[in-house]
Amino acid sequence: MSVLLGKGTRVLVQGMGREGRFHAGRMREYGTRVVAGVGPGSGGTERDGIPMYDTVSAAAEATGANASLIFVPAPGAADAILEAVDSALPLVVCITEGIPVHDMLSVAAVIAETGTTLIGPNCPGAITPGECKIGIMPAENFSPGPVGFVSRSGTLTYEIADALTRAGLGQSTCLGIGGDPVVGLPTPDAVRLLNEDPGTGCIVIVGEIGGSAEERAAEYMRAFGKKPAVAFVAGRSAPPGKRMGHAGAIVSGGQGTAESKVRAFEEAGIPVANAPSEIPGLVKRALGA
């Protein structure tokens, strides 16, 4: 089983510039079915053997695409997301960083009324190892297995997936959801998907300071958790009131602190690693391995 993407996923790429073309190629090498590219005025052409279309709707109709990967620059990225949503694509992954929060609030309001799942923005994407990769993550760090994985940090996604793989702990689906203040698939919703996935035996939750997503995920798991879980919270040494890297990683007024997140996980019976290197051991213990 997989969450959101798998062998049947057919991907179109919005924004086939240098980055879009490079990662479309890497996805195809992995086995992902990249069926179309989209760019105004490019309809009827090809780029690297991928047919191009002027609009998402034209591409989806012609190719049966059911997912989009967005590399459109920040000023036009919100409109690109809405175009994919308007075409009723079930899954949209937006890599673009620097999208204004106001734009994403408008996008979130629209998506809430649709059946589309948005991953991102400012994220590495998602992967069901051995089946489908949508995004920019290094595929060699991942391997198939029972560990579901959600992370707000792109770099930690790669590092922890590699550590799990080296420990013989493959992954079911890994979701790099992004670290902006407003994301399409927040941590609690991603955790819920993995909790309901029959192919996931244990969930790794990688959070960071800022916001209350991790606390809400812990509350959900305490009430509805079917699977064992392990957590890690980045940013324990960050000073209050100072933005650290991600736009959403800011602590204010005693909220969103590493301490509050660790406490929430522990109260939900979820062990918290002190360092990423501890995660494989905790997962093995959770799985009874």
Catalytic site positions: 246
**DSSP-derived secondary structure for 35-94:** EEEE-TT-TT-EETTEEEESSHHHHHHHH---EEEE---HHHHHHHHHHHHHTT-SEEEE
- With beta carbons less than 8 A apart as the criterion, state whether 71 and 13 touch: yes
What CA–CA distance (Å, rounded) separates 40 from 103?
21
Structure tokens at 109: 């309001």
What CA–CA distance (Å, rounded) separates 243 from 75?
23
The total of other beta-carbon atoms located within 10 Å of residue 254's CB is: 9
β-pairing, 46-47 vs 50-53, is: antiparallel
